[in-house]
Each structure stands twice: as C-alpha cells, then as structure tokens.
Amino acid sequence: MAEKTVVQASNFVRNIIKKDLDQGINTGQVATRFPPEPNGYLHIGHATSMCLNFGLAEEFSGTCNLRFDDTNPEKESDEYIQSIKRDIKWLGFSWHGEARFASNYFDTLHGYANELIKKGLAYVCDLSPEQARQYRGSLTEPGVDSPYRQRSVDENLDLFARMTAGEFADGAKVLRAKIDMASPNMNLRDPIIYRIRHINHHQTGDKWCVYPMYDFTHGLSDALEGITYSVCTLEFEDHRPLYDWFIANVSTPGTPKQYEFARLELNYTVTSKRKLKQLVDSHAVTGWDDPRMPTISGMRRRGYTPAALRNFCAATPVARSKGITEVSRLESAVRDDLDVHASRAMCVLDPIKVTLTNWPTDEIQTLTVPAHPKDESMGSRQLIWTKEAYIDRADFAMQAPRKWKRLAPQQSARLRGGYVVTCNEVITDADGKVLELLCTYDDSTLGKKPEGYKVNGVIHWVSASHNIPIEVRLYDRLFNDENPDGNKDRDFTEYLNPGSLSVTSRAYAEAGLINSQVGQQYQFEREGYFCVDPDSTSENKVFNRTVTLRDSWGKQNG
C-alpha cells in the first residue's frame, strides 16, 4: 500500500541554515540540541521542538545533543529523565553521543562566574527578593542600582567562595551580572547568575549548594558543546541579548546563535508542565501517561504512533508568529497513519443477542476475511459463524427511520464478511428494552447479493460463543472548552470534560484478539481505532479508543 506523502511546512530556521551554508558563514558541522528540563513529562509541544532540532541535524548531516537543563533540583527527578529518554527514542530520534546534563558543566560555569567577577561584571547582592523587585523598576521606569553593586572584586570573590562553601542560608545572597539597570530590556537589569540552594542534586549529590540560573547556563552550555544553532521558543526572544552577553564576556570555545519560533498551541489542550502536574497531583487524571493527557507518554498509551506525530509536526509551520493549531489536525494525522497500518477487527460495544433460527444449533462455519481491506500483504483473519451472535444496540431500530442502513423488524442487513440476515421477531423485557432478535439467514448470500429483496446495509458482529469479553475505554478530549487556559477569572480545571472517559466492561471482540499484545493497534470496524492498554492481562484485555473513525467533535460542539 502506498504511504501518504507528508508535505513539509514552512521552516524559516531551515532557510537560515541553508543561507549560512551557501554563504560560508557556518563552515563547520551543523549542531543543534534538545534541552528539556527534567521537571515533568514531555508533551506535544516538546514533540515539535524535538522534530525541529533532530530533523535539522539529520537534514544537514549534523548532530543533535540531548542536554538536560538540570539547574533546579527542587523540581527535578530521575523519573522525568528516564521518561524523556524513552519518549525521544520512541519518536525515532537518537541523540549525539551520551546524554548530557547542564550539571556536567557546573565546575566550568562556576569558573565563568568567577571570571565575570574578576572583570568587574558580576557582584554578590544581599537584597531580599522583595527589595530586588523594587530596585528592578518596571517596563516604564528604569531600575535602581543595588547598594551592593560597587563591592570590590576581592570582596565579591570572597563572598561568592563563601556562598559556594555553604556559609550562608538559602536566599541570603545571590550573584548577579553587572549589566545595565536602566536597560529597556528587563532581562539585562543585573540578572541573577547564581542562587543558594542547600539541596541534594540528582546528578551531583551534595557537591554544590549554589546553582546557576537557566539564562546563565543555557548559552554557555551551548558554547561548550559547539552548538551552532540554538533553537528556542518565542518566549526566549527577549532573553537573546543576555544569551549573547554571557557568551561575549567569558572565555567560551564557541559562539552559538539563538533563534526563536512560536511554540505549538493546540485548542482544547493545556501544555503547561506546571498545570499538567497539577492534574496528576489532584488525580484529575490517572498519571502523566493518562491517554487523555497531551504528554507523549499519554499519546503513546492512547495508541498514537510515532509516524503520526512526526507527520503532524512536519506539516505544522515553524513560524515566528503565534497561532492556534486545531487539535483535529493532530487527530487527522493519527487517522491517516492508522488507516494504513492498523489491522481490522470487529468488536460489539453494546451487545444485543441475535439468534439465527434456521442455523443448526451446533454447526460452526469458519469465514476468512482480509486483515486489511486495502493491503493484501497483511494477510487474513478468521471469523467464526454460529447460531448466536452479538450486534451493537445502535445497529437496530424498532422503528426504522428514513434511509436506515441497519437492522429493523422485517428488514435485512448483511453481517460483515458473512450472510444476509432478516429480523423476524424481537424479544423485549417488561420495560420494552430489546433483549434478543430472532432472525433467519439466507444461505445463498455469502459473498453474493440477495435476489428479490433489499438489504439495508452492512453491520459488524461477533459470535456469541466464540469471542473474548474485553474492557473498552472510550477516551475523548480532556477539556470541553476551546481555550481552557484563556479565562484568567476561572481555573482551567473548571473546563475539564466530564465525558472524557467512559468505560464498558461488557464488550465482545473477535476471538482472535486473545493473542493481541500491549500497544497493538486495530480498527474496530465502524467504531474507531483502538489499541491494547498496558493494564491488560491474559484474562482481561483492555482496549483504549485512540481516535474515532471521523471527526464528530465539531458537529457535537459546534
């Protein structure tokens, strides 16, 4: 089967690199990096950054480093580090060499801090956080010099050494760069370089009680690694002068350049790691890998494929301006990939029993149908036809509406891959609920059209005696508002969709699915795309709905 061609969207960073190479501005190897902070699981926004950085390195025969920004050990853990590595590998990317950590460079960065002090470009400040905010000024008023700004080089070296030795309490002092308190760019108003934190670090243990700030660490780490293109999201645009200032004022081995692009914003989605962690901690979801979460691990568990995510990212413009991307585009990319690669199967979610009154009681017939209707290479699967079957309740109507394409009293429909059946009698309970349909099958209709009467349509089914009972988890969007984070007067959790998950434990699937493995994907015919959840056991298979067959959200919520 031919693979769908993915059209590469516009990418201004790629154009910059091409121009640099053509003009000889960058004569070395293209080197990028992916620098996540290990304080949560990666989400769909990180996937776009990952595809961009690793993709650029691949396109230009360069390298892409994985470097963990581990400068804030209070919020970081090895759990997050390992999850990030898994997500990168799952998406199909390989980082250059060993995984790196900003903490690998703590000794060198500490030396750079002392170099700035010796040049008169950094000082130890004793202002409290509240005082520092007052001295910093505002967007309309310049800042005021700290009273500690004129400390001598020797005093600053001594105080910084004592900070490093653990002599002072957390927050008692900070090391600040001496730049310009009147700068219109607030980031240049003597930013903090180091702060005191008496806390164990997941990589360096108790070696340090002072930790560098991100703005100080990021660019210098890029320079130390020989990064040529440091691609960040747009919120770091105002930080670029500071990025360049640090590189220009210490003895770095390289001069990387920073470029910014607009981060991915999906409607009906929240991607703030802080807010995603809030959902996890409050048990609004079952964990970081809850299939409703926009995390890569959640999407993987739901049944999204690496190819679908990469295709989506490739088709999403890398732009300088902010915009909102429809989550339906992501879902469409998933459908496109699963339509090609997912085996077909039948599953009845809300069963009604069908008894074929003219079929011999103990007779069994094996029917062979394609595993995929458009791809013969995927082989075939076996269906077991017996006297009793299950169809879905939605496929029967006591009073058939106009143009009804399913089963109804005295009307006929084909059971997928099998015979045409006609409903002759309906058995209900005292409340009128349909319990069983008594039907007859037409033995001349296997693979053939019936003669002399009309067939409403084709419906799916499973044998009542040859099936496996399964648990099915029907997932929908986690939020029911297009912009759940947009109303500052309301908490984003107020927009949680109460219908984002419904579970049925009375579903029946083809018997062959007993051998299905965790992560295996199927199209349950006429129902949607599903995958086997890790909660599955040999006795109880659990299937997650990855995505419906078509986008019905707009019609329901338009």
Count CA atoms closer than 13 A to 257's CA, side-chain side.
8
For residue 293, what are the contacts with CB-CB under 8 A and spacing of at least 6?
A: 41, 43, 276, 279, 285, 299, 478
For residue 99, what are the contacts with CB-CB under 8 A and spacing of at least 6?
A: 66, 67, 68, 85
Torsion-angle region of 374 (φ positive above 0: left; ψ -120 to 50: alpha; else: beta) = alpha
421/354 Cα distance (integer angstroms) = 10
Distances from the Cα of 245 to the Cα of 38, 67, 190, 242, angstroms: 26, 22, 12, 5
Count CA atoms closer than 13 A to 540's CA, side-chain side.
8
Angle between helices 44-59 and 12-23 (to 10 degrees): 20
Distances from the Cα of 229 to the Cα of 234, 236, 241, 259, 492, angstroms: 15, 14, 15, 7, 35
Question: Annotated active-site positions, please?
Answer: 37, 263, 273
Contact 517, 532 (CB under 8 A): yes
Collapsed DSSP state (helix, strand, coil) of residue 420: strand
**Dihedrals phi, psi of 287, to nearest 5 degrees:** 160, 180
457/409 Cα distance (integer angstroms) = 14
* DSSP calls for 85-140: HHHHHHTT---SSS-EEGGGGHHHHHHHHHHHHHTT-EEEE---HHHHHHHH--SS
459/416 Cα distance (integer angstroms) = 6
Distances from the Cα of 518 to the Cα of 29, 115, 297, 510, 535, angstroms: 41, 54, 14, 17, 8
Q: In 128-272, where do the E strands start and end?
A: 174-177, 192-196, 210-212, 229-233, 257-261
The amino acid sitting at 43 is H
Q: Where are the alpha helices (DSSP H) in 319-469?
A: 327-341
- Nearest 10 degrees: Cα torsion 106, 231, 116, 179: -140
Contact 246, 30 (CB under 8 A): no
For residue 511, what are the contacts with CB-CB under 8 A and spacing of at least 6?
A: 384, 462, 463, 466, 467, 468
524/545 Cα distance (integer angstroms) = 9
As beta bridge partners, residue 388 has 355
477/545 Cα distance (integer angstroms) = 12
For residue 538, what are the contacts with CB-CB under 8 A and spacing of at least 6?
A: none
